């Protein structure tokens, strides 16, 4: 049967998540209002919300309540926003723009951007730990443990460290794959697993989503690398050519654009194949695999 169009579904989730994040982020009141304003600035008003989409769609496979899923999706978006606010700092990737507007440290200042990122990361775990997310404490503990792994030294943070250490070094494809499985892929895998955790899914179903997300995450990153070389900054909302200027090893620098694009397409097909254990409710997840390699931003 034909796939459900993915872009309208992504737009619907983006609107839905904007409302959810408005609710779940604190209000900027009191003497700490400035850091809360920076938290909201870093998180609201833009982004594809692909990770939130994965949380919502993985939960849909098991009939999980969408309101509860929106809390987990918001936690994932908080972690993602924290990582971007920190990545944009001069000590990291030194980017002045993000999502078509000044980076958090440019809009506020470096210290506030650091504190806002710290607060977003910890706020994510508060969202997961609440009984409003799930009645079963074992499920909540599993969510917290898996997000901690995805965000920490053996996930995003570890991948960022490897990425910074590799600047100026033309690495092999195995090294880059490991780097990106940590830096980009780990949070994407958690997002796809989260719905299965909340739905107390079988090992087979959870593993299928994990395998899907691992291939999806690599395809997503290769597409990002291609956009850095070929993308339009006006459409992307951020500068292009950053990786080359920084001397970073990427899938494109190692494989070249044509082979990198072919690899992304292969990974997207493999990702969709992992979903054979699910029925037509997973068509949006299948459509997402094709979307990530053809996007322009």
Give the per-residue pLDDT at 249.
76
Instruction: Report pLDDT digits (tens) over 197-256.
Output: 999 999 999 999 999 999 999 999 999 999 988 866 765 555 555 666 666 778 998 899
Instruction: Report pLDDT digits (tens) over 178-194.
Output: 999 999 999 999 999 99
On whether the pTM is more than 0.85, the answer is: yes
Give the per-residue pLDDT at 1.
42
C-alpha 92/C-alpha 161 separation (Å) is: 10
Q: How far is CA 211 from CA 15, 214, 272, in A?
A: 28, 5, 10
Model confidence at 169, pLDDT cuts 50, 70, 90, reads low
Give the per-residue pLDDT at 42.
98
Classify 97 as helix, strand or coil: strand
Mean pLDDT over 21-35 rounds to 97
Torsions phi, psi of 102, nearest 5? -55, 140
Model confidence at 260, pLDDT cuts 50, 70, 90, reads very high
Question: pLDDT at residue 104 above 70?
Answer: yes
């Amino acid at each position: 049967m034909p796939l459900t169009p993915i872009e309208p579904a992504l737009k619907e989730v983006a609107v839905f998540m904007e409302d959810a994040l408005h609710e779940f982020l604190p209000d900027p009141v009191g003497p700490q209002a400035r850091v809360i304003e920076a938290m909201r600035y870093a998180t609201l008003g833009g982004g594809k919300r692909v990770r939130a989409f994965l949380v919502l769609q993985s939960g849909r496979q098991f009939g999980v309540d969408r309101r509860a899923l929106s809390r987990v999706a918001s936690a994932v978006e908080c972690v993602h926003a924290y990582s971007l606010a920190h990545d944009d700092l001069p000590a990291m990737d030194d980017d002045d723009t993000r999502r078509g507007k000044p980076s958090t440290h440019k809009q506020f200042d470096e210290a506030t951007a650091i504190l806002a990122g710290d607060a977003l990361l910890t706020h994510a775990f508060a969202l997961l730990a609440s009984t409003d997310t799930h009645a079963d404490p074992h499920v909540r503990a599993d969510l917290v443990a898996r997000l901690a792994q995805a965000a920490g030294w053996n996930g995003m943070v570890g991948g960022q460290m490897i990425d910074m250490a590799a600047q100026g070094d033309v690495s092999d494809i195995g090294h880059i794959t490991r780097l990106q499985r940590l830096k980009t892929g780990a949070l994407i895998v958690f997002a796809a697993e989260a719905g299965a955790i909340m739905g107390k899914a079988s090992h087979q179903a959870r593993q299928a989503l994990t395998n899907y997300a691992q291939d999806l995450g690599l395809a997503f990153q290769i597409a990002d690398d291609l956009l850095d070389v070929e993308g339009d900054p006006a459409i992307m909302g951020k500068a292009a050519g950053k990786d080359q200027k920084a001397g970073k090893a990427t899938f494109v620098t190692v494989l070249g654009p044509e082979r990198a694009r072919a690899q992304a397409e292969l990974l997207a097909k493999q990702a969709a194949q992992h979903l054979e254990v699910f029925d037509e409710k997973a068509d949006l997840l299948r459509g997402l695999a094709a979307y990530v390699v053809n996007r322009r931003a």
